[in-house]
Chain A
Amino acid sequence: MAQQGDLLLQMKGVQKRFGGAIALSGTDLSIRAGEIHALLGENGAGKSTMLKILAGVHVNDGGTISMAGRSFQTGSPQASIEQGIAVIYQEPSLFLDLTLAENVFIGRQPMKGAAIDWTLVQNEAARLFDELGVPLDPKRLARGLSIADQQVVEIAKALSMNANIILMDEPTAALSASEVERLMTVMQSLKAANKAVIFVSHRLDEVFMISDFITVMRDGATVSENSVEQTDMQKVIKEMVGRELTELFPKTEHDIGDVVLEVKDITNPAYFRNISFKVRKGEIVALAGLVGSGRSEVARAIFGIDKYDSGSVEVNGELLQKGSPIVSMERKIALVPEDRRQQGLFMIAGVDRNIAMESFDRLKGKIFLNFKKERTLTETWRDKLSIKFESASDPVDSLSGGNQQKTVLAKWLATNPDILIVDEPTRGIDVGTKAEVHKLIDAAAGEGKAVLMISSELPEVLGMADRIIVMREGHQVAELSRKDATQEKVIAAATTGSKGA
């Protein structure tokens, strides 16, 4: 058994690239027994990649990892488990129709002769739950258990496999306040048992409440590692952001006109409450906030993919029927969705077919589609957006991410919308194409479209938006004008709900 303070894990200069994209450019991390270590950073800073390398899902390209002083090559989840590393995912995957005890020992049931030793299974599970300080009955079924308790079962399972480093990726994201408290108790119990806990969280208040050490990452590298006494929230926020804005954001000033889109107090209790804002002609309004704060759901509700319980949406002063994308399209709203592969494109269909998808009215005569017009449409948008492909009938699946995103944009811009909603318009695309997409969005506003942009990338939000609305846990917590907005203010609002910073 490790003593408190023993160095369990050390990562030095760890690198990882995916194709051309660098996910980790040299990350350091030291983990000692009996500590709770928070890993912080913006979306895309490389935290999840770090955890995945430790879990054996990815293999690092450079740098060294040592476990208890011995060099360790990751590569398979099995190898990581043998090293005592266990991962608790945000959404646990228990077998709902088995008992908790069965879940803890799934696939490794202790045998007594030819039969499973059920008494031992139950006693051991009971002992583990007891050790974690949670009154769970090993004999009950997993079905109906709260997410937090399911996580506890996963932790018990990890302990039964002799894990001494527990990784948790945003464990509290899906939990209610009381559940968070319970999970924190469990984390304290783990600490008392000289285990190490590494966890990723965007909720800074929690982080400061429970952690012993805080490591901040940015752009795939470690920025700082401090004990909690040596740092504070302001400092951490600065370290998370600390980046210069460049010409990546070719924002130009345009005339801002009348209100085109007005969202009035819409609520869908599962995702967001009392959201109200206006978007004017020629204006770019950004919805900022953490992943899961309800931004995409607001966009989906406006476009009519989902319904909302109360409130209303008006387009040019007239009420918009809810829950119908067809009506929303008639009212000249376009939504470039969050997930281009699942929602934005028909991956096996040709580029031409995808671009034409929303423009049938202009492509057909009385009944039949005019293939010549369709070809012209594809060529027009290929040239306007400089989309690169060999043949118009190539499946979009064969295009690069950036060209795929441009195809989705082309499809919607071809409808000449008055209101353009773009959700994570530059996720996972290279810097050059990012700048092009930003230019297109700016040009759309310049043509007098009202643009609503959702983005998890703060520089993008600050670089492009005329106004920023910050959401946190389904609530609208701040509204900042372009000149007032700073990264610190947005992060503070998104993570703690406070308006100033």
Chain B
Amino acid sequence: MKFKLRFTWDTSILILLVVVWILASLTTDNFLSSINVSQIFSNTSEITIMAFGVIFLIITGEIDLSVASVLALSSSMLGWSYAHGAPIWLAIIIAMVVGSLCGFINGFLVTKVGLGSLAVTIGTLALYRGIANGILGTNTINEFPEFWTGFGFDTIGTSFIPQSLPIIVIFGIGFALLLHNTPFGRRTLAIGQSPEAARFAGINVVKHKIIVFTFTGFMAGVAGVIYTFRFSTAQADNGVGLELLVISACLLGGVSIFGGIGTMWGVIAGVLLAGSVESWLTLREINAQWRTIVTGILLLTSVAAPVLINKAKAAKIRAGNRS
């Protein structure tokens, strides 16, 4: 049989996204209004930024559950150092350095000490937020320069594009190129596909994973900065629970939880799909329980569908090559 399956989860999620947009705009008055679209983009900005790092980690076969806590710690450090007289640019750098350091510690514990990333990052999920609590306690800092808070909240000129979007786009393009067009990206995929074969291919798996953990931490730091300015608030309980949304978005975008498979545009589509569905249901005034149920079903489908599609695809190709 010459028929060849070219249908992948990444492409189907794009189709799904378009379908959701069409249905949503038909069933609500203002889904595609500029304000709502702008809302969707800015509501998902931290998740997207964190997902850019986490996708690399999941592809190598690891996971990071601590990203939302890193976000909170970076946010707290930003607020604390600004409140203690640091110029804003320095406070921002401190926040990102703290984020990177958190990621590095995760990576070190996982690779050098040899602990499982699930266990390590459950631990640091509590630890990093605990430190954030230690720094700010129940205080919130919400005095920031207007230029920066505007940057987190306003749109560009009179358009509907949030000011944070260009940053996301730049990071998105950068990380997409890194994953798909560089040796580093190829090695990331290779490690997830077979850590043993990666060693025989001359890849320094430990070093590679530490780098990926570190820039995941860095991206969580960036997300912390954006979050802080978007809500004009630095506090220890910023972003509670976001880690699950980040991981959901990656899985929804076709990244395999077993490692070795994933595309950047799949993840971007995944984030937008989750954000769009959420927005659609909100506009339809569907209550929170139902929104959660729909999100859950979407996620289960996203985990099951790529597995089933890939199985069917592999069987087809195998039949072809072995005949």
Write the residues of chain A forming the contact surface with B, with a CB cutoff of 8 angstroms: 303, 305, 325-326, 328-329, 335, 337, 342-349, 353, 356-358, 360, 364, 367-369, 388-391, 394-395, 397-400, 403
B321 touches A390 (CB 8 A): yes
Tell me how many residue pairs across A and B have CB atoms closer than 8 Å.
82
B182 touches which of A364, A391, A397 (Cβ 8 Å)? A364
Which residues of chain A come closer than 8 Å to B199, judged between CB atoms?
A: 305, 325
Q: List 10 A-B contacts (CB under 8 A).
A: A303-B200, A344-B197, A346-B197, A348-B193, A349-B189, A358-B202, A360-B183, A368-B177, A391-B4, A398-B317
Per-residue A-contact encoding for B172-214, CB less than 8 Å = 1, 0 else: 0000010001110010011001101111111010000000000
Known: A305-B199, A346-B198, A398-B322. 20 other contacts (CB 8 A): A303-B200, A325-B199, A326-B202, A328-B202, A335-B200, A347-B194, A349-B189, A349-B193, A353-B186, A357-B201, A368-B182, A369-B183, A388-B321, A390-B317, A390-B321, A395-B314, A397-B318, A398-B318, A398-B321, A400-B321
Q: How many residues of chain B are within 8 Å of chain A by beta carbon?
A: 26
CB distance from B138 to the nearest CB of A (A): 47
Q: Which residues in A have their C-beta under 8 angstroms from that of B134?
A: none
Q: Report the minimal beta-carbon distance from B31 to chain A, rounded to whole angstroms.
A: 37
Closest residue of chain B to A361, judged by CB? B183
Q: Is the CB of A364 within 8 A of B183?
A: yes
- Report whether A346 and B204 are in contact in the complex, using a CB–CB cutoff of 8 Å: no
- The distance in angstroms between the C-alpha atoms of A432 and B314, with both chains bound, is 26
Of chain B, the residue at the smallest CB distance from A335 is B200
Closest residue to A329 on the B side, CB-wise? B202
In the complex, whether B260 has a CB less than 8 A from a CB of chain A is: yes
Q: How far is the CA of A342 from the CA of B183 in the complex (A)?
A: 21
Which residue on B lies nearest to A346, using beta carbons? B193
B313's closest neighbor in chain A, by CB? A395
Complex A-B, nearest 3 residue pairs according to Cβ-Cβ distance, in ascending order? A360-B183, A325-B202, A346-B193
CA distance A325 to B314 in the complex (A): 32
For A390, give the chain B residue with the smallest CB separation: B320
| Chain A proximity of B29: nearest CB distance (Å) | 45
Given A343-B196, A346-B197, A369-B321 contact (CB < 8 Å): no
A412-B322 Cα distance, complex, nearest whole Å: 24
Contacts of A360 in B (CB 8 A): 183, 186
CA distance A390 to B200 in the complex (A): 27
Chain A minimum-CB-distance residue to B194: A346
Q: Which residues of A contact B320 (CB under 8 A)?
A: 390, 398
B211 to chain A, nearest CB (A): 15
Do A343 and B200 have beta carbons less than 8 Å apart? Answer: yes
| Complex Cα gap A372–B218 (Å) | 33
Contact, CB under 8 Å: B321 / A394: yes
Give every chain A residue within 8 A of B318 (Cβ-Cβ).
Answer: 397-398
The answer to whether A343 touches B260 (Cβ under 8 A) is no
Across the two chains, which residue of chain B brings its CB closest to A300?
B200
Q: List, in ascending order, chain A residues with CB within 8 A of B204's CB.
A: 326
A344–B181 CB distance below 8 A? no
B243 to chain A, nearest CB (A): 27
Q: Which of B181, B201, B314, B322 contacts A369 (CB 8 A)?
A: B181
A452 to chain B, nearest CB (A): 16
> Which residues from chain A contact B183 at a C-beta distance below 8 Å?
360, 364, 369
Q: A330 to nearest B CB, angstroms?
A: 9
Alpha-carbon gap, A342 to B197, bound state (A)? 6
Q: Is the CB of A358 within 8 A of B201?
A: yes
Residue from the set B186, B201, B322 with the largest chain A CB neighbour count within 10 Å = B201
The reply to whether A345 and B197 contact each other, CB–CB distance below 8 Å, is yes
Question: In this complex, which of A348, A349, A394 has the most chain B Cβ atoms within 10 angstroms of its Cβ?
Answer: A348
Q: Contact flags (1/0) for B159-179 with A, using CB distance below 8 Å? A: 000000000000000000100
Measured CB to CB, the closest approach of chain A to B18, in angstroms, equals 25
Q: How far is the CA of A329 from the CA of B199 in the complex (A)?
A: 12
* B94 interface hit (Cβ, 8 Å): no
Query: Whose C-beta in chain A lies nearest to the C-beta of B260?
Result: A348
B261 CB-CB contact with A under 8 Å? yes
What is the distance, in angstroms, from B131's C-beta to the closest C-beta of chain A?
A: 36
CB distance from A223 to the nearest CB of B (A): 33
Per the 8 Å Cβ criterion, residues 274-322 of B in contact with A are 314, 317-318, 320-322
Are A348 and B261 in touch, CB under 8 angstroms? Answer: yes
- A326 CA / B317 CA spacing, docked (Å): 34
**Residues of B close to A328: CB separation below 8 A:** 202
Are the C-beta atoms of B200 and A346 separated by less than 8 Å? no
Closest residue on chain B to residue A19 by CB atoms: B322
Contact residues in A for B182 (Cβ distance below 8 Å): 364, 367-369
Residues on B with C-beta less than 8 A from A369 are: 181-183, 186
Given A369-B182, A388-B321, A395-B317, are A344 and B261 also a contact pair (CB < 8 Å)?
no
B-chain residues with CB within 8 Å of residue A364 when the two chains form the complex? 182-183
* Cβ-closest chain B residue relative to A303: B200
Q: Are A325 and B200 in contact (CB under 8 A)?
A: yes
Residues of B within 8 A of A345 (CB): 194, 197
A68 to chain B, nearest CB (A): 42
Q: Verify A389–B321 contact, CB threshold 8 A.
A: yes
Q: Which residues of B contact A349 (CB under 8 A)?
A: 189-190, 193, 260
The complex places the Cα of A403 from the Cα of B4 at a distance, in Å, of 21
**Which residues of B sit under 8 angstroms from A357, Cβ to Cβ?**
186, 190, 201
- Distance (whole angstroms) from the CB of A177 to the closest CB of chain B: 33
CA distance A394 to B250 in the complex (A): 24
Task: Give the docked Cα–Cα distance between A345 and B196 (Å).
Answer: 9
Whether B202 and A342, one on each chain, are in contact in the complex, defined by CB atoms closer than 8 angstroms, is no
CA distance A55 to B182 in the complex (A): 50
Residues of chain B within 8 A (CB-CB) of A335 are 200
**A347 vs B261: C-alpha distance when bound (angstroms):** 12
Contacts of A367 in B (CB 8 A): 182
Asked if residues A368 and B321 are in contact (CB atoms below 8 Å), the reply is no
* Least Cβ–Cβ distance between A108 and chain B, in angstroms: 35
- Verify A368–B197 contact, CB threshold 8 A: no
Residue of B nearest to A400 (CB): B322
A115 to chain B, nearest CB (A): 37
- Chain A residue at smallest Cβ distance from B318: A398
Chain A hits for B322, CB < 8 A: 398, 400
The answer, among A358, A368, A399, for a CB contact under 8 Å with B181, is A368
Chain A residue with Cβ nearest B258: A348
CA distance A349 to B261 in the complex (A): 9
Scoring A303, A346, A394 by chain B CB atoms within 10 A of each residue's CB, the highest score goes to A346
Contact with A along B1-18 (1 / 0, CB 8 A): 000100000000000000
Query: B245 CB to closest chain A CB, in angstroms?
Result: 27
Of all chain A residues, the one with the shortest Cβ separation from B322 is A400
Instruction: Give Cα A298–Cα B186 distance, bound, in whole angstroms.
Output: 29
In whole angstroms, how far apart are the Cα atoms of A399 and B319 in the complex?
A: 10
| B 115-147 binary contact with A (CB < 8 Å = 1; else 0) | 000000000000000000000000000000000
Closest to B315 in A: A398
What is the distance, in angstroms, from B58's C-beta to the closest C-beta of chain A?
15
Q: Which of A347, A389, A400 makes the CB contact (< 8 A) with B193? A: A347
Cα distance A390–B4 in the bound complex, in angstroms: 10
Give the chain A neighbours of B189 by CB distance below 8 A. Answer: 346, 349, 353
Q: Which residues of B contact A394 (CB under 8 A)?
A: 317, 321
Assembly CA distance A394 to B313 (angstroms): 10
Q: Can you name the residue of chain B whose Cβ is closest to the Cβ of A349?
A: B193
**What is the minimal beta-carbon distance from A172 to any residue of chain B, in angstroms?**
29
